[in-house]
Every structure is written in structure tokens, then in C-alpha cells.
A and B are shown apart, each in its own frame.
Chain A
Amino acid sequence: MKVIELKSLSKIYNPDTIPVRAINDVSLSVEEGEFTAIVGPSGCGKTTLLNMIGGLDARSEGSVEVGGVSIQDMSESQLTTFRMQHIGFVFQAYNLIPVLTAKENIEFIMVLQNMDAKTMQERSDDLLDRMGIKDQRDRRPSELSGGQQQRVAVARALASRPKFVLADEPTANLDSGSTEALLDIMAKLNEEENITFIFSTHDQRVIDRAKRVITLEDGVIVSDEHR
């Protein structure tokens, strides 16, 4: 099943002054259960592409379909609700709400989704367990290591049972040990529960773990390799 379908997608920054074609005529589809890396040199358009897929930024040309639903014509608040229901996000750093504990951060989206307390409790306990951060459940982000924070962020992204998880350089701020640990968890979730991950990275060790590698250069896909 296709979870993402991009057709002739382009993003032009500053169209009125000095136009920058950050993404240029990209067509791409992503199937459920993929473990896909978007790679390429700095400035090639990885973040821009992920932002458009996640409905965080508007496209200039072309179309974006998520789970068969075209998202480009949605209003801002429809889009926000759509993200809450269908897309999991992990950012590079400082993903978490500083005043909430690890567990509360994970439950946050489920509260927004009006999930009942019992289901929420079970799910957050389960996620904490699987991420190996059960002992840190009552700590605030400032009391967690970078790797632990990113694991909480992945747990939060999964809490809402999204169609896929978008992660823009999730390991950029981590040391190699934490990077390994995070990737192990992501790969395991992908393998055992068929959770779709699309992440961007610079890191060769991360690229090596991906099952599909899409390489961008100057906003254009130059290679798309399934392994």
C-alpha cells in the first residue's frame, strides 16, 4: 500500500526576488513498511522535501498525497489535525516539551487525540518499555541524554499510530553509541511491526542501515536504490 505519493513536486523559495528551486520536479512513492533514507550533500533539499511530505511547508508545484489523501489544498488547521492523526515526527533535537516528563511527552499526542486514559496508559508503558527508557519515564527532557531524548521522540511519534514516521537527521546530534541504539530500535520497529520510516541523514553508518536510499542533488533525485 502506498503511504506517500509525490508527483512533479517542486519547491521554489523567494519566487518574487531571487528564486531558489530547493526541490525540482520530484516524483516519488513510498510503500508501507519501507525504511528509507534521503541523503545528499548539505543544501540539496532533504529538509525541504521532508517538510512538504509532512505538511509542514507548502509545495510550489506538483502534488503530495498521504495515504491516498491529497494534502496540498487543506487549510492550516485541517493540516495540523491531519499531522496529529497520521504522521509521526522526529526532529534533529529539542523535540520534547521541556516541562513534561518522558511519559507525559509520549502521552501528549494521545491526549490531543482524545484517547481514553486506560489505552493511553498501556500504550505509553509499552512504548517506554520497547524504547528501553522505562526507568527514565518520570524524568524531564533536561534530565535525559540526547539519545534518550531521541528515543522518547520516536516513542511520541509512534504513540499516535501514524501511517509513517518522518525523521529529519534524527541522529545528527548523537554520538555513535546512541546513534546505533536509536537505529536498532527503529529497525526493529520496522521489521517487527512494519512501521514505515523515512529519514534524512549525512551519516554513512545510518545510510548503511537503510533498505532504500534516495539521493538528492540540487533538489533533484539522482539515484533511488533498493537494497
Chain B
Amino acid sequence: MILYIKLAWRNVWRSKKRTWITASSIAFSVFFACLMQSSQLGSYDNMIDNSARFFTGHLGIHQVDFWEDQIIDNSFDQQELIQLDLSNSDILIGVPRLSSFALASYGDKTKGAALFGVSLPLEAEFSYLKRKLIEGDYNNKGGVLMAEGLAANLNLRVGDTLVLMGQGYHGVNAAGKYPVSGILKFPIPTLNQGAIYLPLETLQEFLSAPNMISSYSILLKDSQDTELMRSHMETILKDKELGLMTWQEMLPDLVSSIELDYYGGWVILIILYVVIGFGIFGTFLMMIKERTYELGILNAIGMNKYRIQAMVAIEIFLLIFLGVLMGLLMATPIILYFWSNPILLSGDAALAMEKFGYEPIIPFALNFKIFYNQGISIFVIALFLAIYPMLAIKQLKIIKALNE
């Protein structure tokens, strides 16, 4: 065995240039593939996190009809949840939310607005709402927090008084005056142009819906654990008129666009791998062709073909391993860097991202799966391509080889 490894190792370095070129092309494709997948998975994580934190949670508990018809009448009494023990080590945090629509007026201007009744202290952790505050006071009792775009449209500043008008629980009229205690700036345009955050009790009072909430949103430690948690939660909720939904169910568009993007990425990688594969194949071809005479001698003096195959297989393995290792070594520090310092987009790219409702950053994921995926892919390709040299050795004819 030591002899094979020695032989294979020296054979690999026989044509240094070719070995470096082949290994570098493998390294490049692994490098490129890792970076691409890392940024893909990173932005998926980021999109899921954004959406879950601001809108749905990883899991949402609603009155059974709410998701179909998101009106105030389909809300439920939060007392129902308080009796339940929702604690679980996989749950990070849960928040009650009440949402509705109303007309917001200031002076002679009126705009439609989305009202969110939330627990401000909990929301500071859940959706990092406090970080969006650019002016005023986050925890001012009785006041409301307005999105910057909406405030600008209404010509309204901190300290001004906002008039809200709408429909409350079971059709009652809802109207109220609220001082604006803070301005929030959201990267997501729909929020920035229309969101008003009120303390939960304030909104419940405005809508004449004491104790009612439209959703209880839960954040998990791992966004992918939703199915696991579903069974746990459903046994707890079984006697209630409450339904549980996962973010995948609540955000089907996000799920499908992630899938589309992910498989689209794989298509690019497969094209890349095919191109690289041709290069690898060329090297394998040469490894056999230019050594036919030598392999003939080995066979003639008594080296069995399976042993010759083993020797060449080790050469192939060493070559591929070198390339994959180089690729991973190049990719790791860069992924690590961008994982802790996501790329901040600016200019048109940033605007485009914001238009689609996402933060204008390219985060990178640090996930073992990425390295594993690429390493395995290259090895599978190499394994497939190695069929040729193995067959060529099997079909080697000594006499023909010796006449080369």
C-alpha cells in the first residue's frame, strides 16, 4: 500500500504544470461554488429572518379563520394562550400582535395606514423594532410610533397629534387622537410608507377589542425546525379554536422564490462543473494515454490490472483532493469574513433590493453543508469520470502497449 501511495504521489507530480492547472481549475470551481452558495444561503436566512421577525414569526397562532380573512373580527382572546404552557427549549421568544387598518390624518392630509398593536418591550427583541427608531422616544406611554415615510407624507413630526379613524371589533366605529412619540425608519418600503406601531392595549382600546390579538408569533432557534415544532404545539392547542401555521405556509412566495433561486444556482454550478469536468477528463485521458507503454511494462512484469487501477485511482484521488482542499482553503477565510461583515449594497442595487422588501445587504452563511456539497459534488464527478481510465486499464493489451 505504501508503494502505491508513493508511486501515485510521484506520478501526480510528474507533470507539475498539468497537475497545478487541473488542481487550480478544481479549486476555482469549488471556491466559486462555495462563495455562491454561501451568499445564497446567507440571503435566504436573512430573508426568512426579516420576514419572520417583522411579519409572521417562524410559527404563528391565529384564530382558525384569520389567515383566510385577516379582519379584526377574526382575532382571539389572548387569555386563551396565557393558560397554556408554550415553553419549549427550541423557542426563542413569542409576541402577541394585533393588526388592523385605519385612516390616519394630520392637518388636511389623510392616508391609509396599517396599525400594529404590539408589546413594545418584547418587540424590541423580536423584530428589533427599537433599532428602527430614528427620532423620539420608544417607550413613551400613550404615544404611537410612526413610519418615517408615512410621517413625511402627513407632514407630521414627533410631538404632533395624529387622528386615527376606522372600524373596530364587530363593526363599531373607532376613532382616536394619539400623540406621535417616535419615528421609525424601515428598509422595507411597504412598512416605511404605511406602518403605525401602537402599544397593544392602546390599539385594543381603539378597536374596542379588549384582550384580543390577531396573532401570537413565535421565533424558533432554527427556522428549519418548524415541522418538528408543529406536532409539539398542536397537542398543546388541540382543544382551542386556534390554528398553527409555519412560516413556510404563511410565506409560500418566499419559499418558492428561495427554491427557484437555489435550484437556479445549482444549474449554474452544474454548468460550471461540466466545464471543469471536461478539463479533469482531459487530464485523466492524458494520464493513461501518455503512459500506455509504461502501464504495459507494469502489466508485463507482473503487476495485475486491479493493482494498476488502484495506483491510478490513488493518483486521481490525490489530484482531486488537492484541488478541493485548495478551493476550500481559499473559500473559508473569505466566507468567514463576509459572514461577520455582510456586504452592504449601495446605489441602484440597494434600491432594487429594498423595493423587493429586503435589506440591502448580502449576508454570507457559514454552513458546513456548503463545503460538504461542493466537495462531494467534485468527488462524484471525478468518480464518474474515473470510469474511463479504469476501463482503459482493464482493456489494456500488453503487446499493443509495448509497441507504443
Contacts A/B (CB < 8 Å), 15 sampled: A77-B304, A77-B305, A80-B299, A80-B303, A83-B300, A85-B302, A91-B402, A94-B294, A97-B297, A99-B7, A100-B7, A109-B301, A112-B307, A156-B301, A160-B302
B293 within 8 A of A: yes
B276 within 8 A of A: no
Map CB proximity to B onto A57-72 as digits: 1 under 8 Å, 0 otherwise: 1000000000000000
B50 within 8 A of A: no
Complex A-B, nearest 5 residue pairs according to Cβ-Cβ distance, in ascending order:
A84-B302, A99-B10, A83-B302, A80-B304, A111-B3
Asked if residues B7 and A57 are in contact (CB atoms below 8 Å), the reply is: no
Within 8 A of B (CB), among A148-167: 156-157, 160
Separation of A87 and B7 alpha carbons in the complex (Å): 23
Asked if residues B297 and A109 are in contact (CB atoms below 8 Å), the reply is: no
A176 within 8 A of B: no
A56 within 8 A of B: yes
Taking the closest CB of chain B, its distance from the CB of A88, in whole angstroms, is 8
Q: Which of B297, B302, B399 contacts A51 (CB 8 A)?
A: B399
* Inter-chain contacts of B109 with A (CB < 8 A): none
Asked if residues B398 and A56 are in contact (CB atoms below 8 Å), the reply is: yes
Separation of A160 and B301 alpha carbons in the complex (Å): 10
The chain B residue sitting closest to A77, CB to CB, is: B304
Asked if residues A89 and B293 are in contact (CB atoms below 8 Å), the reply is: no
The chain A residue sitting closest to B9, CB to CB, is: A99
A98 within 8 A of B: yes
Asked if residues B399 and A81 are in contact (CB atoms below 8 Å), the reply is: no
Within 8 A of B (CB), among A73-93: 76-77, 80-81, 83-85, 87, 89, 91
Asked if residues B297 and A94 are in contact (CB atoms below 8 Å), the reply is: yes
Separation of A108 and B7 alpha carbons in the complex (Å): 10
B322 within 8 A of A: no
B298 within 8 A of A: yes
- Given A51-B399, A57-B399, residue A81 in contact with residue B301 (CB < 8 A): no
* Inter-chain contacts of A80 with B (CB < 8 A): 299, 302-305
Separation of A132 and B302 alpha carbons in the complex (Å): 25
B11 within 8 A of A: yes
Q: How large is the interface on B (under 10, 10 to 19, 20 to 34, 35 or more residues)?
A: 20 to 34
B14 within 8 A of A: yes
Within 8 A of B (CB), among A104-137: 108-109, 111-112
Separation of A100 and B303 alpha carbons in the complex (Å): 15
Separation of A56 and B399 alpha carbons in the complex (Å): 7
Taking the closest CB of chain A, its distance from the CB of B20, in whole angstroms, is 17
Known: A57-B399, A99-B14. 7 other contacts (CB 8 A): A51-B399, A84-B302, A94-B293, A100-B7, A112-B307, A156-B301, A160-B302
A178 within 8 A of B: no
* Inter-chain contacts of B301 with A (CB < 8 A): 83-84, 89, 108-109, 156-157
Separation of A94 and B297 alpha carbons in the complex (Å): 9
Taking the closest CB of chain A, its distance from the CB of B311, in whole angstroms, is 10
Taking the closest CB of chain B, its distance from the CB of A96, in whole angstroms, is 8
- Given A83-B302, A160-B302, residue A95 in contact with residue B7 (CB < 8 A): no
Q: Which of B294, B302, B305 contacts A97 (CB 8 A)?
A: B294
Asked if residues A98 and B399 are in contact (CB atoms below 8 Å), the reply is: no
Asked if residues B7 and A84 are in contact (CB atoms below 8 Å), the reply is: no
* Inter-chain contacts of A56 with B (CB < 8 A): 300, 398-399, 402
* Inter-chain contacts of A111 with B (CB < 8 A): 3
Separation of A85 and B307 alpha carbons in the complex (Å): 16
Taking the closest CB of chain B, its distance from the CB of A102, in whole angstroms, is 15
Asked if residues B399 and A108 are in contact (CB atoms below 8 Å), the reply is: no
The chain B residue sitting closest to A94, CB to CB, is: B293
**Which of A51, A54, A97 has the most CB atoms of chain B within a 10 A radius of its CB?**
A97
Separation of A160 and B188 alpha carbons in the complex (Å): 79
Separation of A89 and B303 alpha carbons in the complex (Å): 13
The chain B residue sitting closest to A86, CB to CB, is: B302
Taking the closest CB of chain A, its distance from the CB of B18, in whole angstroms, is 15
Separation of A83 and B302 alpha carbons in the complex (Å): 5
Separation of A95 and B300 alpha carbons in the complex (Å): 10
- Given A97-B298, A99-B10, residue A57 in contact with residue B398 (CB < 8 A): yes
Within 8 A of A (CB), among B262-280: none
* Inter-chain contacts of A81 with B (CB < 8 A): 302, 304
* Inter-chain contacts of B299 with A (CB < 8 A): 80
Taking the closest CB of chain A, its distance from the CB of B307, in whole angstroms, is 7
Taking the closest CB of chain B, its distance from the CB of A11, in whole angstroms, is 11
Taking the closest CB of chain B, its distance from the CB of A14, in whole angstroms, is 13
The chain B residue sitting closest to A76, CB to CB, is: B305
Separation of A81 and B301 alpha carbons in the complex (Å): 9
Separation of A100 and B300 alpha carbons in the complex (Å): 17
* Inter-chain contacts of A109 with B (CB < 8 A): 301-302
Separation of A87 and B10 alpha carbons in the complex (Å): 27
The chain A residue sitting closest to B7, CB to CB, is: A99
Taking the closest CB of chain B, its distance from the CB of A21, in whole angstroms, is 17
* Inter-chain contacts of A84 with B (CB < 8 A): 301-304
Asked if residues A91 and B302 are in contact (CB atoms below 8 Å), the reply is: no
The chain B residue sitting closest to A85, CB to CB, is: B302
The chain B residue sitting closest to A84, CB to CB, is: B302
* Inter-chain contacts of A108 with B (CB < 8 A): 3, 301
Separation of A160 and B303 alpha carbons in the complex (Å): 13
* Inter-chain contacts of B305 with A (CB < 8 A): 76-77, 80
Taking the closest CB of chain A, its distance from the CB of B294, in whole angstroms, is 7
Taking the closest CB of chain B, its distance from the CB of A107, in whole angstroms, is 8
Separation of A19 and B297 alpha carbons in the complex (Å): 27
* Inter-chain contacts of B10 with A (CB < 8 A): 99-100
Separation of A98 and B293 alpha carbons in the complex (Å): 12
The chain A residue sitting closest to B403, CB to CB, is: A47
Separation of A98 and B11 alpha carbons in the complex (Å): 9
Separation of A95 and B293 alpha carbons in the complex (Å): 9
